Amino acid sequence: MNISRMLLGAAGIAMTAGLAHADAHSGDTSEMRIALSNNYAGNSWRQAMLQTWKESTAQAVADGVVAAADAYTTSENQATEQAAQIQNMILQGYDAIVLNAASPTALNGAVKEACDAGVIVVSFDGIVTEPCAYRIAVDFAQMGREQVEYLATRLADGGNLLEIRGLAGVFVDDEISKGIHEGVDNNDQFEIVGSVHGDWAQDVAQKAVAGILPSLPEVVGVVTQGGDGYGTAQAFEAAGRDTPLIVLGNRQDELQWWAEQRDANGYETLSLSIAPGVASLAFWVAQQVLAGEEVPQDLTVPFLKITQADLDEALASTPEGSVANVSYFLEDAQQVIADAE
């Protein structure tokens, strides 16, 4: 069974073979335009997210579902720059904005401007708290807690943990870190002895970990956020330290390293992350709102989890330099909406 289909099936979401048609009572959106506002593209997850958006929306435009689905990425991860981008989208007359936000709160003013102008705003991954916006997210705090719970099953005696965080100030980083610390509170055999920001990028994580390792005692486990596991492993190796149990984040280089370590010495771990394809789900949710469907403001999707048993299949289906992924179609969005009602 394909790893993506298996993981979606576990969440009760039916993967479709291709583009589905809207229900008969849905309104016509063929003349409407949707824009993607993305705050950051500096890692493999964001690149896979943008590619999934491009592929999914190109088909929707070709099929006449919408008139356009343009993607824009700010040059820096700055809320002020993204707010200006959103304001430009309003002026350009987009009917909906799909938003991966630099901050959960700093963009609320621009989002409210969009809503007041009649523009639908659907935030995902990096969501916003403005009540008029729609939000699509995994339970990132649970993703953090689950890492510690997994380590507790593998490291009964506990020990010292190193935490690798993501981009500072972003909702996702805050939530995963919160869940990790809640997990440690519930498993007090562990102690977090160091924390660095890896920015969800292997090179940044490697440099940050290399900088903190000389000051750390023995580390038995590393809790992460995705895009940082391989860089962390490289830093430990370069420092001549034993490789701890590193929770990974579904990146191809991480999965490849995991498979090599497994074959060499039986290394076993867990990998989990939100799928970059959530961007395609956000597109279809925006389309459904534009079509007049009743959609709850808050929607939840599962994170993708890869276990030792799934590793070979996941690695085989993940392109080099990319991330384990799934794409969502209209029927998937309709199912997620129905499950939330």
Q: Distance between CA 111 and CA 61 in Å, rounded? A: 25
Q: Do domains 3-138+275-304+323-340 and 140-273 have the same CATH topology?
A: yes
The structure tokens 């394909």 sit at 2
Half-sphere exposure of 99 (CA within 13 A, CB side): 34
Beta strand extents in the chain (DSSP E only): 33-38, 68-73, 96-100, 120-124, 134-137, 159-165, 190-197, 221-223, 245-246, 271-273, 298-300, 304-306
User: 278-290 and 330-340 are packed helices; what angle lies between their axes, rounded to 10 degrees?
Assistant: 80
Q: Where are the beta strands (DSSP E) in 198-303?
A: 221-223, 245-246, 271-273, 298-300
State the Cα–Cα distance between residues 150 and 132, nearest whole angstrom: 37
d(CA 193, CA 97): 41
CA distance 125 to 278: 8
Q: Is 248 helix (H, G, I), strand (E, B) or coil?
A: strand
Query: Distance between CA atoms of 11 and 8, rounded to whole angstroms?
Result: 5
Kindly report the CATH class assigned to 3-138+275-304+323-340: alpha beta
* CA quadruple 181, 150, 316, 267: dihedral sign: positive
Q: pLDDT digits over 67-77, tens only?
A: 999 999 998 88
Average pLDDT over residues 32-42: 94
pLDDT tens-digit readout, 256-272? 999 999 999 999 999 99
Residue 204 and residue 196 in contact, taking contact as beta carbons nearer than 8 Å:
no
SS3 94: coil
What span, in angstroms and rounded, lies between the C-alpha atoms of 293 and 25?
9
Q: Which CATH superfamily is domain 140-273 in?
A: Response regulator (3.40.50.2300)
Residue whose C-alpha is closest to residue 221's, from 211, 232, 206, 210: 232
Tell me, what amino acid is at 213? L
Mean pLDDT score, 151-180: 95
Q: Write out pLDDT tens, residues 299-325.
A: 999 889 999 999 999 999 999 999 999
Residue 135 CB neighbour total at 10 angstroms = 25
Distance CA 214, CA 199 (A): 21
Summary mean pLDDT of the chain: 91
Predicted confidence (pLDDT) per residue in 1-29, tens digit = 334 433 443 333 333 333 333 343 469 99
Q: What is the per-residue pLDDT across 190-233, written as a single tens digit (0 to 9) for each?
A: 999 999 999 999 999 999 999 999 999 999 999 999 989 999 99
DSSP letter for each residue of 11-28:
TT-PPPSSPPPPPTTSPP
Round to whole Å and give the CA distance between 220 and 151. 9
Looking at 12-26, 34-48, 98-112, 250-264, which range is the least confident one? 12-26
- Give pTM, 2 decimals: 0.81
Per domain, the residue ranges of the chain are 3-138+275-304+323-340, 140-273
